[in-house]
Amino acid sequence: MWTHPRIAGYLSQALSHEMSVVQQYLTQSNLCGCWGMGVECDHFRREAGEELEHAGKIIRHMLTLGLAPNATQLQPVHPGRDMAEMLTFDWHLEEEAVRLYDDALRYAQRCRDEASSRLFAELLADEQAHLQELERMLAKLAEKEK
């Protein structure tokens, strides 16, 4: 099956991004575990699982298009020195995902690629929800510090 090369590029970027975020959240989960922060450890592990599900959806879609999945550009991990820094790093990653999926969705819609449009729309909605959750968590931390 043929797909537009730019759609293939968006899918590769998306896979690299999702795998980078999985790596980020797993690192943060383990760091929180070392610090004895069980609730936070579980939170980051759940987030890693959600992002891994996103990667799986991207891989399945790429395979249906006849593309070989390959996450080649993983971003370096920024674990953070405390919870506020962790959440801030994560907010930037999620913001990047929102921009990526928004661009990809618009392009897929212009190409009339309905299957890719559906995937990008679903991922965009999930990432927007993650971004809102991170904003809520950061605001809650800021309130505690007052």
List domains and CATH numbers for the chain: 5-145 (1.20.1260.10)
Q: pTM for the full model?
A: 0.93
Q: How far apart are CA 57 and CA 42, in angstroms?
A: 23
Quote the tokens at residue 46: 């759940």
Find, among 78, 26, 80, the residue nearest to 52 by Cα: 26
Predicted confidence (pLDDT) per residue in 51-109, tens digit = 999 999 999 999 999 999 988 889 999 999 999 999 999 999 999 999 999 999 999 99
Contacts (Cβ under 8 Å, ≥6 apart) of 24: 75, 77, 78, 79, 89, 90, 93
